[in-house]
Amino acid sequence: MVHAVTGPYDVIAYVEVEDLSKRLKNIISKIHKIDEVDITLTAIAVH
């Protein structure tokens, strides 16, 4: 799920995975390969 937002962030992406350490690295590396992406900020919510 992705939402467009106002303020200092352009997009917030929500990702649910069972194996966080394995999947998160894969997802982040794919996002970093996008030319238009300059920086990212990862925040993990646990519930």
Model pTM score: 0.56
Residues 1-47: tens digit of each pLDDT: 667 778 887 777 777 778 777 788 888 889 889 998 888 887 777 76
Counted domains in the chain:
1
Task: Name the residue range of residue 39's domain.
Answer: 1-47
Token pair of 32 as six digits: 């970093």
| Amino acid 2: pLDDT | 67
